Amino acid sequence: MSLSRRDFATKSAVTGAGVALAGSVGALATAPNALASTDTEGAEGVSADGHGHGHGHGGVGYGPLVADPKGLLALPAGFKYRVITYSGQTKLESGEFTPSNHDGTSTFDGPRGTTLLVNNHELAGPRAQWPHPVPLIDGLVYDPAAAGGCTVVEVRPGGHVAEWVGVAGTATNCAGGNTPWDTWLTCEETEDKTGTNGFTKDHGYVFEVDPADRRANRNPKPIKALGRYAHEAVVVDPKRGHLYLTEDAAGPNGLLYRWTPPEHFHHGRGKLRTLADDAGVLQAFKCFDSGGKFIDDLSRATKIGTVYGVDWVDVPDRDARTTSVRKQFADGQVTRARKLEGMWWGDGGTYIVSSFARTESPVQHDGAVWFYDPKRRTLTLKVLIGVNPDPSVDGNFDGPDNITVSPYGGLVIAEDGEGVQHLFGATDSGRTYPIARNELNIGTAEKPEYSEFTGVTFSPDGKTLFANIQTPGIMLAITGPWKRQKRG
């Protein structure tokens, strides 16, 4: 059922009533109904020429970051980190080194006080090009020619760490998402078919990994009902049963998808892999403004607080046998967005990252976060980050990617931009603050290079923030005097 123009105008008025907040470019307004009234240029914290004036901590966050004498991770005073896994250094139970290129991650309660994590390894192309691919463990392999997959990491009380393979033989495992039934959905960010890179099977699917039951991961099967495309992240609506999925692709830009389960289907451990390849309905989003005008690309929005209505359009061929899914739609049929990245369910809906926009946008920016409210079927712009004038200088954030809702209020975001890389937080009222800075230079002294952060997620008890440095592949556990962030 489509959302009528009158319904949308009514819902928009309800969403915006009485909640306009003073926001700034580079600042998130993360409360479900929070709307900021500023635009990309001339906003507080960013001058009209796009140059930032700091993060405006003003009592939020944990203070300035302290350089790490070990040259790995700068943290605020009172915080500390621990290396959990390190590609090429730590080893799996089976004896091989931890695979490289850590990406999307989530945590789960394990037995006897342990914490379980499922960790993606974003390894693309031929398997032979990677020194530390995901090992091909008998019974856990989808395609023996592919290098990617997931490992399961167990952190035990007292500090002991164990790691084993959850799925192998998949490709470019980027982000994904956890489920209400405590499993991990890992997403392949590729459209490579059989024969490409020597692959023996088609790729571009979602696979389910159970961190608590190794037997459940045997004979991995793609969930073809969710489509074959450059998957980025996925979330599950625990009330309605829908799955929402982002696509990180260009030429044309990618889409946001919704999968509706078939009638009488009940979610649960391992249930998705039992579905027929064409089960349920896969749809792409189509946005329009309060006047009913179609929005062709999310980058057209230039003001924080912009609200769009959302309709959903059926995907013709979800397995993309001859044409990529996003290319099956003509202009005017669906809305697109540049680099749709991380998602996280919270506040009754899903937060969605669009990493940046350039020529397609009336105002270039270095990142946006939207919030989709499935009850109202509205999409609200929560952040526009102004273009970072000098990414090599510490002081501005850009390129949001993986994202999580913090138990201490607001969001925590992993940066995947240019130059200096951070984990940063954002309060409910829109104040941003640094949490960590990557100090591991993988370039040279003359041309330093710092890998992106990935896989940001809190432990189930909220005491530990886990995050990855993608290259070479390091999982870190951050602890310290966490506190509930004031609204600022």
Give the β-pairing of 20-21 and 35-36: parallel
Find residue 457's DSSP bridge partners.
466
Give me 380's structure tokens. 């609200």
CB 101 within 8 Å of CB 470: yes
**Closest listed residue to residue 482, CA positions, set 430, 421, 409, 428:** 409
- Both tokens of 465, joined, read 């923030």
pLDDT of residue 324: 98
112: left (phi over 0), alpha (psi -120 to 50) or beta: left
Among all chains, which residue has been given the structure tokens 């009902």? 225
Break the chain down into helix, strand, coil percent, rounded to 5.
10, 40, 55
- Tell me the whole-structure pTM to 2 decimals: 0.90
Tens of pLDDT, residue by residue, the chain (488 residues):
445 444 544 444 333 322 222 223 333 333 322 222 222 222 333 322 333 333 444 578 999 999 999 999 999 999 999 999 999 999 999 999 999 999 999 999 999 999 999 999 999 999 999 999 999 999 999 999 999 999 999 999 989 999 999 999 999 999 999 999 999 999 999 999 999 999 999 999 999 999 999 999 999 999 999 999 999 999 999 999 999 999 999 999 999 999 999 999 999 999 999 999 999 999 999 999 999 999 999 999 999 899 999 999 999 999 999 999 999 999 999 999 989 999 999 999 999 999 888 888 888 889 999 999 999 999 999 878 889 999 999 988 999 999 999 999 999 999 998 899 999 998 776 678 999 999 999 999 999 999 999 999 999 999 999 999 999 999 999 999 999 987 65
C-alpha to C-alpha distance for 382 and 368, rounded to whole angstroms: 7
CA end-to-end span of the chain: 41
> Domain spans of the chain?
54-86+388-488
315-344 core/surface letters (b: 16 or more CB in 10 A; e: else): beebbbeeebbbebbeeeebbbbbbbbbbb
Alpha carbons 254 and 227: distance in angstroms, whole number:
13
**Cα–chain-centroid distance for residue 52?**
25
Q: Is 485 exposed, middle or buried (0-12, 13-18, 19+ CB in 10 A)?
A: buried
Cβ atoms of 436 and 92 closer than 8 Å: no
The answer to whether 452 touches 472, Cβ cutoff 8 Å, is no
- Residue 131 CB contacts under 8 Å (≥ 6 apart), including other chains: 88, 100
E-state strands within 230-280? 231-236, 243-247, 256-260
pLDDT of residue 429: 66
The H or E element spanning position 245 is: strand 243-247
The token duo for 280 is 């349920």
Write down how long the chain is: 488
